Structure 1
Amino acid sequence: MNNLQMPQKDMEKERAALESFIKSDRTVRELKRSIAVRMAIEGRPYHEISQILGVSKFFIGYWKKQFKTKGIAGIKLGHKGSKGYLTSLHKTEVIEWLKNKEYWDFDELVTYLEREFGVSYKSKQSYYELLSLAKITWKKTQKINPKSEPELVKKKRGEMALLGLRWKLYNIGTLC
């Protein structure tokens, strides 16, 4: 008997442990791992398991070995991801605060998050995402166009009006 085979009594304990793990609230990846291991322990051929679950034979062998050496902890996800800085309730509060403002200032948002929630993001992208959730553009706003010169604008409008008039007269002349 090699180190991956064990007496029937131990197999029943493993099967029971796997069953309770499968029935508990698990992620899809953990569930797929545990079902593959259970089927392998029951003696199903790897090619059959791989067809049923859509996994490779290597996947089955790897997770079976992990289970045999480490138990249930061997098939659990090692990384759970990072926790967000703001809870969904806090995000909703920030979005409402942004929607109730008439004028938005990026620095004011940064200050608000630090003061109210103790949150300071390293990247500006996180602030941009909050503004996007509130359906607010984060482009820098200005009251007037800094490139516009009132006299040039007035001159250009006059030229465009003259062209429009000429076009109308031309069309009237071609119709007659």
Structure 2
Amino acid sequence: MDTLEQFIQSNRNPRELKRALAVQMSQRGHTYREIRDVLQVSLGFVTTCCQRYEANGVEGLKLNYWGTQGYLNPQQKQEILQWLAQKDAWLLEEVVQQIEDAYGVVYRSYQSYYALLKQAGFSWKKSHSAHPDKDETQVEEKKLKSWSYWCSGRPRLPVVKCE
């Protein structure tokens, strides 16, 4: 019980602390329902914590998830960020191609590229200086531009513009 007490006193992680308190309350004779009500957890949580503590001690109460290994190591990521700092604007395709050519990494989602761009201080969102509804020619230009972007992003589907 000393190690459990030390774990509670030294722990700053709220999830691990809640697990340890559930075990401590159980050892002091509180029912699982009382523990559930005090800690605002489920009965299954209390049961699991007690079982893990009995099987593995304090180690069983610690979080085991540390995330996944990234595709780029910290040095490679720093090199990419330095490369991005060379220009004020980039096309996403340029960034994708550079990462693939230099490191052989292709992300499944563009979100990973966006995260790198954000980390480098870039924004990929466009703003409009004036509302296009004020001028019909601007509205038509915007529709055509949007249509061309939409079509270029969907090369696998045959699309016909409805009039």
Measured after TM superposition, the shift of residue 16 of structure 1 is 0.8
2:133 is the counterpart of 1:137 = no
- For 1:73, the equivalent position in structure 2 comes to 59
- For 1:122, the equivalent position in structure 2 comes to 107
CA contact (8 A) 2:8 2:20 kept: yes
- 5+ unaligned residues in a row in structure 2: which ranges? 127-136, 139-163
Q: Distance in 1 between matches of 2:76 and 2:122?
A: 17
2:60 is the counterpart of 1:64 = no
Q: Distance in 2 between matches of 1:129 and 1:90?
A: 15
Measured after TM superposition, the shift of residue 108 of structure 1 is 3.8
CA contact (8 A) 1:95 1:130 kept: yes
Q: Distance in 2 between matches of 1:50 and 1:58?
A: 9
> Alignment partner for residue 7 of structure 2, among 9, 21, 24?
21
> CA RMSD of the aligned region, Å?
3.4
Measured after TM superposition, the shift of residue 130 of structure 1 is 2.0
TM-score, with length taken from structure 2: 0.57
> Alignment partner for residue 27 of structure 2, among 30, 34, 41?
41
Q: Distance in 2 between matches of 1:114 and 1:138?
A: 26
- Residues 32-91 of structure 1, C-alpha deviations (whole Å, 9 max, x = no match): 11110011111123222212110122321221122112212222223221244454x986
- 5+ unaligned residues in a row in structure 1: which ranges? 1-14, 140-155, 158-176
- For 2:141, the equivalent position in structure 1 comes to none
Work out which of the two has the higher radius of gyration on C-alpha atoms and give 1 or 2: 1
Q: Distance in 2 between matches of 1:31 and 1:121?
A: 39
CA contact (8 A) 1:66 1:74 kept: yes
Count of residue correspondences: 124
1:129-168, aligned counterparts within 5 Å?
129-133=115-119, 134-137=121-124
Q: Distance in 2 between matches of 1:102 and 1:49?
A: 57
Query: Identity rate of aligned residues, in percent?
Result: 34
Measured after TM superposition, the shift of residue 95 of structure 1 is 5.2
Q: Distance in 2 between matches of 1:105 and 1:121?
A: 16
